Amino acid sequence: MDLKLTAKTALVTGASAGIGLEIARTLAVEGARVIITGRNRAKLDSAIAAVKASGGSEIIGVLADAASAEGAAIIAKVEPSVDILVNNLGIYESKAFGDITDADWSHLFEVNVMSGVRLSRAYLPGMLERNWGRIIFISSESGLAIPQDMIHYATTKTAQLSVSRGLAQLTRATNVTVNSVLPGPTRSEGIETFLRSQASDPSAPIKQIEAEFFATARSASILQRMVEAQEVANLVAYLASPRSSATNGAALRAEGGLVNTIA
């Protein structure tokens, strides 16, 4: 299926690895001009090379910290207009509630929530003026099913859903849409370390550890396996395309299922 992304400009934050890199790769292969952001030039260059090796179209990297006000300003100055904004930048950690400091809360909110808020504020007016645009937040199933060892992370993911839904309401009767994608546990950089930290036997084979994780910590999972980054990217590419024109204000689970939508 042609997603009709040729000549569209897409900005993907946190795209030097994992889900963000797969999203950037998929959009570029579909014909979009892609901008990725990051704090490390070597990682940006490596991501750009990986996308080009996959047959992607034009891709550039902007060296800036999208989690800071200064970084967001740099990004908006370098690229003042985009058609598609994918707010993918995010971090997570497992921590007992009593051990989560004020600094921890503030840091996760700056990275996971404010990065998307600032860039959406920068690009939404232009999208509305041109009467076409896509803003996509990469949230998490943890925004709805709160893990007891990641309450601060889950709270930021719930906040993303509120921001996304609120922005969607500002796009009424336009061709601009704002949606969220809620992946379940996704295979990406660092996930093995996280899984081993949760396991009853951290030295066990990773397949055994994954099976235990889904049997205990994620027993409600429909897939009962890790989501692959490419599977998330496929859903994001659809939401970014003109073919998703009737999907607005939605929170879409990467495992399947529609949480909320308006047309």
* CB-CB contact of 241 with 31 (8 Å): no
d(CA 28, CA 31) in angstroms, rounded, equals 5
Comparing CA positions, the residue from 178, 176, 10 lying closest to residue 79 is: 10
Q: Structure tokens of 201? A: 């036997």
Judged on CB neighbours under 10 Å (0-12, 13-18, 19+), 104 is middle
List the one residue out of 47, 50, 48, 46 whose CA is nearest residue 59: 48
CA-to-CA dists, residue 157 to 78, 80, 130, 151, 210, angstroms: 28, 27, 29, 10, 23
* CA 151 from centre of chain: 19
Q: Which residues are catalytic?
A: 153
